[in-house]
Amino acid sequence: MFARSVAVVGTGYVGLTTGACLASLGHRVVCADIDAAKVGKLVRGEIGIREPGLAELVREGIAAGRLSFVVGAAAALAELQSRGTPVEVMFLCVPTPMGVGGVADLAAVEAVVEETRDVIPEGCVVVNKSTVPVGTADRTSELLGRPDVGVVSNPEFLREGSAVHDFLNPDRIVVGSNSSQDAAERVAALYARLGAPTVLTDAASAEMIKYAANCFLAMKLSYVNALAELCERLDADVADVTEGIGYDKRIGQAFLSPGPGWGGSCLPKDIHALLQVADSADFEFRLLRATIDTNTRQFQRMVEKIRKAVTGKRSGSVTRKRIALFGLTFKAGTDDLRDSPALGVAALLKQAGAELVAYDPGIAAASSSIDGSLLTVVDDPYEAAKDAEAIVILTEWPEFRSLDWQRLGAAVAERTVVDTRNLLDPAVVRRADFDWVGVGRAAPYVASSLATSSVSAVRKPA
């Protein structure tokens, strides 16, 4: 594999991971950002992202002289030029937030193109790494007005909390280009050492693959949340049901865990963006709309579950009831609060008059950006539980499993746990005299006579 000179514009989750990982593969990488203070910290090897392994990769890249940081996209190109290695590939890893009506906002992409249009070397390949609407590669080519510069779509498939692992152990590499096969192959070659399956296609298909993947995952989550509700009504156990269907290779185990809803920085904006694309094509994507509606309903359903656990009635009043929320981030392993279902549930509880105190391992009380009028963030789970009439598990942090439930029992006003992630071992919690309420879980019972049949089947207790 030949080392390439690479510019990465944007140092968020995607950009910083891309730059650090490409440098670890031997490429010469300059990362650019418009935030001078952020760049200053990165130059010193300080990162503001909670992402396992990323800080180490950044520092290793800096120490090896393969990774550096500058302010501004044009400066990144100039930096490589000054080293006698003109940029060969420029990745655009800038934000594409949800704009008016759900359409992706491409202002940052267009700003970088305008800034660098006249200084990109001949033969360079511009890569859209950000999640962008179908047709963005063509739009980028038009804005560039440079037939000597290739434009490629190379979507990312990184999960927050495991981004470095996902980059270095990809399920597939997708590269799409309408300009030239050579441009696509040059980008694919950057990942050659990873040995992953590579899909070379046109730009529109590559852009569509990203949206199709994320929207399918959102549909799968909405499906399992609806399934959990049905299990509750029929006295079935969603844990056993999902285990049973998950062994089917056509379905798989991933994204079959019920919860308070789906959120984060990707799924909500991507599903709305694809709906906009569908609307523009005069196609009514009813399945996607149902996916969103099911997710919205899930927030309210969790509140009803909490109301019933606290008052005995799904519509019972929680006014002035103190409730401890364990977990605020949209998933464990990250400090990202964007479109967190935990905050969606918290907002509904607050509207209902509840007093909320929260603990999250990834959120420090002193630096929390959460509105204090919504809830109080504390740095200790036992402090959060003090005088609470219910503990609600909203994020699947593994450390919640090792809490001292006897100590929590001494702190709370009422021994009730609503586990919206089915994270805890109900037997452990119940041994501390807590009432445990899960999602889609049947009431506990002793294994039936099936256990003595020729099929040695023992149902797990809820």
Residue given tokens 């200053």 in the structure block:
40
Question: What are the backbone dihedrals phi and psi of residue 72, each rounded to the nearest 5 degrees, phi first?
Answer: 95, 140
> In this structure, are strands 67-71 and 89-92 parallel, antiparallel, or unpaired?
unpaired
112 closest CA partner among 82, 85, 87, 84 = 87
The answer to whether the beta carbons of residues 95 and 11 sit under 8 Å apart is no
- How would you label 410-430 residue by residue, b for 16+ Cβ within 10 Å and e otherwise? ebbebbbbbbbbbbbebeebb
**CB half-sphere exposure, 301, CA atoms < 13 A:** 23
CA dihedral 375, 381, 382, 383 (to 10 degrees): -30
Cβ contacts of residue 170 below 8 Å, gap of 6+? 157, 191, 194, 196
Active site residue 21: no
- Rounded CA-CA distance 416/410 in Å is 12
Q: Is 315 helix (H, G, I), strand (E, B) or coil?
A: coil
Residue 1 CA: distances (Å) to CA of 26, 90, 153, 154, 166: 9, 18, 21, 19, 21
Measure the CA–CA gap between 394 and 372, rounded to whole angstroms: 18
> Cα separations (Å) of 266 from 75, 108, 152, 183, 279?
29, 17, 21, 27, 20
- Catalytically active residues are 266
